[in-house]
Amino acid sequence: MTARPRVLVLATHFAPSQRGGGLVTALASLVGHLREDFDFTVATSAHDLHAGEPYPPDALDRAQERAGVPMVYLPRGTARIAALNALLSQPWDLVYLNSFLSPGYTTLPLLLRRLKGLRMPWLLAPRGELMPGALLLKPRKKRGYLATLRAAGLLRGLHFQATSPAEVRALTALGLGQVHEAGDLPPDCQPTDLPPPEAMPLTPLRLVFLARVVPIKNLLFALHALSLLRTPVTFDIYGPVGDAAYWQACQHAITGMPAHVQVSYRGPLPPGEALRTLPAYEMLLLPTQSENNGYVIHEALLSGCVPLISDQTPWQSLQALGVGADLPLDTPDRFAAFIEAFAQTPPAERLQWRQRAQAYGLERLNASPQTLATRAMFNCLIGRA
């Protein structure tokens, strides 16, 4: 029996992270779908995002059992250099990086790659960080970082994974290296039953935001849209605060809300809880400025939670399908108008929207095309195609 190729995955955050966002879901899906084909080892931080203390040992044991692959938890500081150097000295068939903007889990490994003269193939998945919308946030810092990596020769011979045609175009335009297209794999989950109509209040309409509180997720835009409403709504915010100054601006907007718009911050939602939480809401409000995949959008669909999102994600033509709406970010008025219209829709018709959304989410759950493309990409780089 031929041994499975050994793949080292380097990621800033992975299980049991509760604050790592869609990256954690993306990696869990990839490993879950392909661990029979490839011998994965995941190296990640021993700390959650913005956490002062490392994960407790029992949480690490449970996370590794659920992941089903070996995991290495790396310390912070200079000790990480020695740990990474030891890892990269092993015979890997492929090294897979999961962020472009990670000093500790991309820049440092690429520097060690060059210093050690490592010749195994390296594949980097930017996860949307180099999309035009993402580059508009802190552009000088990001383009300076990109120029530094180029000048140091750290990108030479590097392969890039794009997960959509739009990302293929963005990466190709930057001219960083060879680009391979393979979409993110769907979450490994099944939809839950929708609450019966009598369990859902007719008013106020229940909306939810589920994402990190950072500028790119555009919570402040969502709050501006809600401030324009004339109909009663509740709006619950889930997600870790990733930018304190931005959250302060959001809190200021919340204090100015009209009385019929009730906003509550619920804190971070642990991974795996989305499908148990989202069915209690009728609409996901996520006017993100850029989204590479949008796992939470898929989870909302599977939960029968109608997504009202921007047109800056791979989830397109939702209104034509009758499952949601993807609107341009030119003005919050259009988002407010969709919410108003949905709130005034008869209950039976609102339930039909939710049922269509769930059916569409289940249809998109079929992982075969993405799995085949990702397997072929890995095998091509390893030389097994």
Same domain, yes or no: 18 and 127: yes
Query: Residue 199: its pLDDT value, please?
Result: 60
88 and 211, same domain (yes or no):
no
CB 279 within 8 A of CB 305: yes
In DSSP terms, 74 is beta-bridged to 45
Number of domains in the chain: 2
Cβ neighbours of residue 241 closer than 8 Å, sequence gap 6 or more: 212, 213, 247
Q: Where are the alpha helices (DSSP H) in the chain?
A: 22-34, 57-67, 79-88, 108-116, 132-135, 139-151, 165-174, 219-227, 244-255, 274-277, 295-302, 318-321, 332-343, 347-363, 368-382
Are residue 29 and residue 172 in the same domain, yes or no?
Answer: yes
> Where do the H-state alpha helices sit in 105-201?
108-116, 132-135, 139-151, 165-174
Residue 80 to residue 76: CA distance in whole angstroms:
6
User: 3-class secondary structure for 35-103?
Assistant: CCCCEEEEEEECCCCCCCCCCCHHHHHHHHHHHCCCEEEECCCCHHHHHHHHHHCCCCCEEEECCCCCH
Q: Which residues pair with 308 in a beta bridge?
A: 285, 325
My answer on whether 34 and 114 are in the same domain is yes
Q: Which 3 state secondary structure label does DSSP give 317?
A: coil
- A 10 A CB-CB count for 236 gives 17
Which domain range does residue 143 map to? 6-183+367-382
Phi, psi of 274 (to 5 degrees): -60, -45
* Pair 176, 230 in one domain: no
Same domain, 122 and 205: no
What's the CA gap between 307 and 284, in Å, rounded? 5
Contact between residue 228 and residue 332 where contact means Cβ atoms under 8 Å apart: yes
* The one-letter amino acid at 173: A
In a domain, 1, yes or no: no
Where the chain has pLDDT below 70, the residues are 1-2, 188-191, 195-202, 367, 384-385
Are 71 and 12 in the same domain? Answer: yes
Cα–Cα distance measured from residue 61 to residue 150, given in angstroms and rounded to the nearest whole number: 39
- Residue 133 sits in the same domain as residue 220: no
Cα–chain center distance at 73: 21
Q: For the domain that residue 317 is a member of, what is the CATH number?
A: 3.40.50.2000
238 and 377 part of one domain = no
Based on the fold, state whether residues 115 and 242 are members of the same structural domain.
Answer: no
For 212, other C-beta atoms within 10 Å of its C-beta total 19
The encoded tokens of residue 89 equal 């000295």
Same domain? For 255 and 373 the reply is no
188 falls within a domain: no
pLDDT score at 272: 73
> Does residue 231 form part of some domain?
yes
Beta bridge partners of 208: 236, 284
Assess whether 271 and 151 both reside in one domain: no
- Per DSSP, 130 falls in state T
Q: Is 155 among the domain residues?
A: yes
The per-residue b/e assignment along 297-314, b for 16 or more CB within 10 angstroms, e otherwise, is bbbbbbbbbbbbbbebbb
